Amino acid sequence: MKKVIKYSSLKFLVLLLVLLGSSEIYAQYGYGNNGYGSRGGYGYGSRQRSSIPDAQTPAEQPKPKTAEELVDDEMPRITEALALNDFEQAVLSSVLKKYVQERIEAQILKLPPEKMAEVYENITKRQDVELKAGLPIEKYEAFVALQKDGVSKTLKKNKKKKKEKRKKTKN
């Protein structure tokens, strides 16, 4: 009789361990095969799958820069090329912002090419008049040359001039 009691108590302990252990496993690893913890499952934690493919959203076109952004981007290079002081830089910046904005507005109107050329020429003339009034004559002429040659060429010319001056001072 004692053997039967020992044997049944052993069965009871094993059954109790299996039940407690299985609930632990169930709690840790989710809801069977389709639980949130299983790989490839569609349960709580995984992304729900759909038979409808995702629509591709078109990439947003970059917004065009404003006149202020365009001028502010170029001003450091122009200032370096022309060796402008703070006042001259402020004058040039304000005039350029004003007339670049007018050019942008003219582009928005989408005028015929002949009319567009005429509008641009008119804007350039008014810009030149303001720049002549606001800048010293040598800085104005340097700016006109800069517009013709471009900033990169002007910077290269300035570097060459500095190198030549250094060579002359060393000799």
Q: Which amino acid is at 91?
A: V
Closest by CA to 129, choosing from 152, 100, 97, 95, is 95
What's the pTM value of the predicted model, to 2 decimals? 0.55
pLDDT band for 122, please (50, 70, 90 cuts): very high
- Give tens-digit pLDDT for 17-51: 777 776 666 666 555 555 554 555 555 555 566 66
> What confidence score (pLDDT) does residue 50 get?
63
Contact criterion met (CB below 8 Å) for 75 and 89:
yes
Contact criterion met (CB below 8 Å) for 49 and 123:
no
Looking at per-residue pLDDT, the higher value among 80 and 55 belongs to 80
Mean pLDDT value of segment 3-19: 72
Q: How far is CA 100 from CA 3, 36, 112, 126, 154, in A?
A: 103, 59, 19, 12, 21
Mean pLDDT value of segment 113-135: 90
Ordered by start, the domain boundaries in the chain are 2-32, 67-164
